[in-house]
Chain A
Amino acid sequence: MAVITLTGLRAWLVQRATAVYMLAFIVLFLARFVIAPPRSYDEWHGLMSGAGMIAATVLFFAALLTHAWVGLRDVVLDYVHVVALRAVLLPLLALGLVALGTWIVRIFWTIGG
């Protein structure tokens, strides 16, 4: 139910904190690939299967999905004023993001395993 209470100041803070994390991750990720690009699939796979890398990447996607939830929910609050339509759109949105999250976790589960 934490997502439901993600309003006002907390949502605003989470939006900014996740943005900062994503920016840092993208910069470091790209820097790593520019400075020392993996030469083969095995090297790339090795890089992505380290425990630290998996944790950082999963956190990146968690930040992305949370950021997207706050942002898209804002769009719904701004433009969709019919309560019934909101009641359909918001759960659909949440469901879509949860499905994406599950898919991402599954991919990393496979890599890790």
Chain B
Amino acid sequence: MNPRLLIVLALLVAAPASAAALEGQAERQPINWVAIAMFLAFVTLTLWITRRAAQRTRTASDFYTAGGGISGFQNGLAMAGDYMSAASFLGISAQIFADGYDGLIYSTGFIVGWPILLFLMAEKLRNLGKYTFADVASYRFAQPPVRSFAAASTLLVVCFYLIAQMVGAGQLIKLLFGLPYGYAVIVVGMLMMAYVLFGGMRATTWVQIIKAVMLLSGATFMAVMVLAQFGFSPEALFRRAVEVKTDLALAGGAAPDAAAAKGLSIMAPGNFIKDPVSAISFGLALMLGTAGLPHILMRFFTVPDAQAARKSVLWATTWIGYFYILTFIIGFGAIVLVATNPAYLDGEALRGGGNMAAIHLAHAIGGNAFLGFISAVAFATILAVVAGLTLSAASAVSHDLYATVIKKGAADSADELRVSRITTLALGALAILLGIAFEKQNVAFMVSLAFALAASGNFPVLVMSLLWSGCTTRGAAIGGTIGLLTAFVLTVLSPAIWVNVLGFTAAPFPYSSPAIFSVPAGFLAIWLISLIDTSPRAAIDKAGYPAQRLRAETGIGASGASDH
């Protein structure tokens, strides 16, 4: 298979934080000292913040939600930091570098979930929840079944997302810093443990904010420098990119007509979407999955009230949208400045692998120093994402499983804190081990699987429990599990796993994403099971709706900013 096809294939199933984009041809580079110095500066700063945060992390509330005192603006930046990954930066710009327009289709998929999250859930989440989204999902239900579902689903989603991140981190760091894969994974795992273990949500939030600011300013600088070369005219930039692609095709031996058509093809959607079902299904998974990702949902409890929750989504959407527009310009900038410079090429391919487009562009624009900065940003980006993921999984274990299901709500704050720290250690160790175990595996499907699971399990359960008075404990717990399992089984049967990983010839489920079937399956199962549920508990569940609605709508009784 040729390398470009491989990248495109990998991207097909990739999602914002996918490792897919980062694998393939990751050769080790010579050690980049500027990048390492910049990265050390970032690590020193964040560890210093972690130390300060640690002195203020005494209660469970500090650990899970930074005491609930993060402002809407800060939280918006941190959400953007949680969501914008190294792979969306490197992977999307690389796809634009290769095929032009198609990269933009991803970007739109990743943004449209945010408004939906705001319109249907944000304020209610903040008013009902305390530490985890399970607080909201199980608000009026019997605690053990719904909490167990939510915790299991959180662990599953986080696990797949985390493996993809760890493998991606190893590949990327090998590529950028010239460090061996194993070291890279261990460094990421240890740093992430340090942030979460000692600094909890406060340190994690700051790591995410700093990373978001670094990524946004680095990307802004690149986009502005690219546009400046074309008198700030996008049309001039696009025209030059079309010329470059036409010349490349001519040099490749194409007839003038064919070459011109090839050049112009970067301005239009290409082969990214093959069949409408896959396209819509993939879009649904991205859109609704965003509103079901546990580490994103958890960020709603770090702000003082519903108004701040609203504001944080507006900021997050704005920054993420702005970032994707920058990525688009960066990708075209790479066509113009990187594809024409033999220093960055190895024959016809990019030196260092297909995902190096943005990295080479950084060098073309700002020399070694800026290359170092962008490499450090990419590393920081992965750290911020894994820290957020680990924190949400640790909270699911300590708050949902230990404190609520096992201790029946009688655990004290110190105990709960101890359990979440032990979980963080275990998860950190597990992440390192899995990262190393999956080094040579194709993990491209894992992030899109995480999104599909979140869209088919968490999202329907949250929507039904928040908006439908007839939803019952059984409906939520069993129905949610059915949605989750449908998404999981269909993904296993899809080409990404059945053919690419397991090596069978034809996949029983031909589409690239299960969401178009599994999301309705989740909703339908919750509805049907609730409908036929005549247990005594069902009556209690339904009777609890007015009180839940009152609190969700007015915020009366919502947990306060801080309990100390």
A-B interaction: no
A interface vs B, CB < 8 Å? Answer: none
Chain B interface residues toward A at CB < 8 A? none
